[in-house]
Structure 1
Amino acid sequence: MKKAFSAHHTLADLLIDLQMAMQACGVWDCETPTLQALQSQEPFCIDTMSFEQWLKFVMIERFRVLLETGGTLPTRCHISPMAEEAFKDKPQESVAILVRCLDLIDQHLSNPS
């Protein structure tokens, strides 16, 4: 129980860092996707929304629900490479920080200690 509790708290902290990195990169204030867009079955909802929309309204929201309910966290995660591609037109210093936040989330979920 204590281990799961700690994993949830770590993820909560990482999500706060991700939000701040997205704000610094200028990708946090994005349009809310439609309900239809949220129904996409494609990875990252790539067919219906931008990557920043997916991060904010799908990934972060799903993680928040898991944190609030004490749900089981995923055991595999590999999101940062998609961010590198999606944000290649943004200032690279900001993107590097954002990608680092996603790397830490990827590592935390893929290598639970």
Structure 2
Amino acid sequence: MTHHDSVRLRLQAIEAQLREHQHWQDLPPDASVFESTQPFCMDTLEPLEWLQWVLIPRMHQLLDSEQPLPQSFAVMPYYEIALEASHPFRAIILPELEQLDALFAGDDD
């Protein structure tokens, strides 16, 4: 399995978790939210919205066009802070994001 294949599988697993736990939205947000200059669009999108509307589509675009993927990449640290300890989805999504991050740290385990 190629690195691109592994990344695509991780993205699909994250999407599946978002869908299964009703964090997937059917309608996109207003286009203006994507004009944010803040990391993770933190001033315009909720953390889980950013996964759906920014990270997943952008990574799929890179994969589909066979573009180089980021060399250094980590989103889990943001989600450890952004999702409160009491957030019911936190324990589900953090391991998924950790596995995605590991693919960009050279650790495919």
The TM-score by the shorter chain falls in which range?
A: 0.7 to 0.9
Q: 5+ residue gaps in structure 2?
A: none
Mapping for residues 1-113 of structure 1, pairs under 5 Å:
6-29=2-25, 32-88=28-84, 89-91=86-88, 94-111=89-106
Unaligned runs of 5+ in 1: none
Q: Structure 1 or 2: larger helix share?
A: 1
TM-score of the superposed pair, with normalisation by structure 1: 0.82
Q: Distance in 2 between matches of 1:84 and 1:21?
A: 17
Return structure 1 stretches of 4+ with deviation > 6 angstroms.
Answer: none
**TM-score if structure 2 supplies the norm length?**
0.84
- Whether the aligned pair in 1 keeps the contact of 2:74 and 2:104 (CA below 8 Å) is no
RMSD of equivalent CA atoms? 2.0
Taking the aligned partners of 1:110 and 1:101, their CA distance within structure 2 comes to 15
Secondary structure in 2 matching 1:110:
coil
Q: Percent sequence identity over matched residues?
A: 25
**In the comparison of the two structures, how many residue pairs are matched?**
107
